[in-house]
Amino acid sequence: MSFIFGGVRGHEDPELAAGNRRTRMHYARDVNDERALADDRPAIRRGRNWTWLAVAVVVMSVLAFAGSRGPQDVPLTADCDQPAIAVESSLVTAGQPLRFRLTGPDDVDYVMTLDGEPVRGDAGGTVAYTQTPAGPTFQLAQCLSPTLRLATPAGDGPRELAASRVAADGTTEQVTAVTVTVTGTR
C-alpha cells in the first residue's frame, strides 16, 4: 500500500511501492503465507509499441530517401580523344526518358540528333546550350557530359542517337552514333 500526501491521485512513488512490497513479502515469509508469496510474480513489462513505430518510421524514411536520389549516372569512362555515346538501355519504351552520356574532346561544340533531328537533352540545368543553325550545341566538361535525358518518340523500331561536331562555319560532322530500339507504349 502506498500513501499519497497531497500528490496527484493515482500517482505512486516507485521507491515507496518497492519498500511496501519488500515489507509485505518479509511478513508473508515469516508467517508462511503461500498465497501472498504466490501472488508475488514479477511484473510483466509491457513493451512500448511507439518505440517500434518510431524505429519503423526511421527505417522507412531512410529507405525512401535512398530511393529518391533518382537514377545514377549512365556509366561511361571519359575519353578526350575518341567521342562515344553510352545509353542506359538500348531498349526503350516510347515516351519514357532515354538517358545517355557523351565523351570526347572538351574544346568542341557538339549537337545531338535523334534520327537526324537536333535534340536538347535535359541534365537539370547543368549543361549550357548555345542555339546555332545546326541546333542546340554544348561543350563537354573534363571530356564527359552529365547524364542527359530526352523523351523517346512514339513508334516502334530502331532509332539513331548521334553526336555531331559543329565547325566554326556551322557545318556538322557526325563523330559517333548509337542505335536504340523503341517499343510501343506501356
User: Do 131 and 87 contact (CB within 8 A), yes or no?
Assistant: no
Domain coordinates of the chain in residue numbers?
Answer: 14-67, 84-183
Q: Which pTM was predicted?
A: 0.59
DSSP code, position 10: T
Residue 25: all three cell numbers together: 513479502
Instruction: Quote the CATH superfamily of domain 84-183.
Output: Macroglobulin (MG2) domain (2.60.40.1930)
Question: In 3-state terms, what secondary structure has residue 63?
Answer: helix
Please report, in tens digits, the pLDDT of each residue of the chain (186 residues total): 555 555 556 667 888 888 888 888 888 888 888 877 777 666 666 666 777 778 888 888 887 776 655 556 778 888 899 999 998 888 888 888 888 999 999 889 999 998 888 888 877 777 888 888 888 988 888 888 888 888 888 888 899 999 999 988 888 999 999 999 888 765
Cα–Cα distance measured from residue 75 to residue 72, given in angstroms and rounded to the nearest whole number: 9
Q: Which residues contact 178 (CB under 8 A, 6 or more apart)?
A: 85, 86, 87, 90, 100, 160, 161, 162
